[in-house]
Structure 1
Amino acid sequence: MRSPFRRPASRSARSTGVVRVDTRTKRLTKRLQPGEIAVIDHTDLDRVAAESLVERRPAAVLNAAPSVSGRYPNLGPGILIEAGIPLIDDLGPDIMRLHDGQRVEIHDGAVSHMGKTQVIAEGTLQSAESVDAAMEEAKAGLAVQLEAFAANTMEYMRGEWDLLLNGVGMPALRTQMSGKHVLVVVRGYSYKEDLKALRPYIREYRPIIIGVDGGADAVLEEGLKLHMVVGDMDSVSDKALTSGAEIIVHGYRDGRAPGLSRVEDLGVEHSVFSATGTSEDIAMLMADEAGAEIIVALGTHATLLEFLDKGRSGMSSTFLTRLKVGGRLIDAKGVSQLYRTRISGWWLVGLALAGLLALATAIMSTPGGQAFLGLSGVLWDDIINFFRALVGLSPQSPTV
């Protein structure tokens, strides 16, 4: 079975460019400029990371790790190839010794400093055909991943049953959500496009908007009011953190709270919510515990493949979270479909005016209508003359 990636194999021509290096792909995309070369260390490149890279339009992507390990059919490599971005895989740790701003030369799978013959690292230049073959082989790993996913789900349930069932450990919130719609925006699949599509819904219902890490910036970019930011603060901007929204730092059961020092340095008021799992999970759990009427999830993970593609063992927490809040949870794509075909109030007013104009035109074309128009003119003249007489002006001649 062929994959949907139909673009020809990556080009093998020699190319040069300035590198940007980071072990965290989502951190790298913030400073990566079009035409530069992205150097990453990302095993099983996922769809969200690949889409972020494509958006920045790099000249090439150099990966120290294998972009497809074979654990499961991850989607990222095919997205890069389809976009025509050369992907060189499994270059090893030496490639990560490069520094931002250095110029390198790429020829097939070999990378060297500009103007030098010594090779820094050599990997595999991926193509549409090689990615297709890797995806087929990786399907065999799904059974093992499914078993691991089930085991992780049971582990999470044992560790967090008091939070899931009784809400123990929830922070006190200043944002009031009881009886309201809550929109949870996550930096996930097509999240920016879905947020644009939800504008009619947001305009009508004015939901409480929670941005999860980088999702908060997408909310601000759309010119929308951000009520809360939740996450470990590794991919959210200072602008979002200082926007006046309530800040909830995601801490973990082992005592870590990676984003706490950053928030404290900014001097913004905040709370810490310590829980296993992902930041999108705790955002949904808080909305549910706060009495939200409806929780609209945008950019979150819904299918097993999406959970695996995220590449975290803790993604099973999202599965259980969805079971917990399922009665109130709606996917944003469904909401946008419902509102896409709605007619706005201005359209209804316009249609009514057009109908009245057509009716008036039809009436005026008849003898009775013309007589009515003449009588209406005389009556209008009498009204005008009455008011002119009140202010001492001479009456106007009747309209003929």
Structure 2
Amino acid sequence: MKYKRPIIKKTQPVYRITPSTFRIGAQLGTTAEFTDRRGEMWNLIQNLDGRDVDEVVASVRTRFPWLSRDDILDGLRMLDKYGFLDDAASESAVPSRYLPNVRYFSGFPGTSTAEATKMQDKLLSSKILILGLGGGGVNVATLLAGVGVGNLTILDSDVVEESNLGRQLLYREMDIGKAKAEVAASRLRELNSLTKITSIVARIDSSQDVLEYISDNDVVICALDEPPFMAQRRVNKAIVDEHVPCVFGANQLTHGRVFTVVPGETGCFDCLNLYYSRNDPKFVNQFRGFQQSNYQPETVAYVPTMWIITAVMADEAVRLITDYIKPKTLGLQYEIVYPDYTSFAHKAWPRYDDCPTCGKGNYDEWPIFQEYPGYL
């Protein structure tokens, strides 16, 4: 038995349905119902109060002497298979503000409180770089500071404007005209003094600019929106060169889209360009037409929906660091449809050996890369 002092997880209620049936759990998809006419399993569960396994076995056999030690251990293994068991010896030592995180992580089958505590410890020692502090980046920063990321580096070149205040909720009217990075850093420190905040006022005009700040980070968040698509390519080139995972997010009118690139594991952003070039005969012409239109998009950002997409981005970063559950957006575009509160995943794109960024290809061989403006 892997638990020395087995208990039912504190997040899982145990309750009678009838004199011969009971349930553990109250959430759809994680609740199990047991038929227990003689009360053997119910008695076993009542004995899971923090005592060690031998004491539990002895107590249950006092009431039901026909049960062998193996019978009782089989009952414990069944409860563990359902994901209901924890160990009373695994008291969490993390700061109390993070205990709800630990309880959430431990709510997944097969994850004990001790394992969940180690996940939170990974967050506390993690380093994340956030590029862009507009409606996406500033809200992701708030969420990551709240969840307990140990070190946050935040970068933006802009100042706070009145038009930002409806969706970038760290900023106040008194902050208009001040550097976003400096204001956000001050507010984040007030939010969580345990998170080290480093602010950088700088522009990203090339992948080399990103490389200046990316080293020693565990994850990058790309919340840049200008220039469209080129900003993502620059960040992509830098994370591939430094082998650092990146979560990308973008708002698209009434939709949001998130995808994650893990260098060496998933296709990169330029692999996505190759994927569309190979599979959509209209792609290059459409992209060329969009670029030649010189369209300057108006800001479209409704703050409740911004929190939806930024919550996904922040959680993907946490998943990458803790592995409490597999990230949803690895090498695929996850689309959120705001009006319907629905979502769907686009087909995953592969990692191409002839990609000029993460493989051995040549940029000149692909027409799509000639359509991007500026320097990579």
Class of the TM-score when normalised by the shorter of the 2 chains: under 0.3
Structure-2-length-normalised TM-score: 0.23
Structure-1-length-normalised TM-score: 0.21
Answer 1 or 2: which has greater helix percent.
Answer: 1
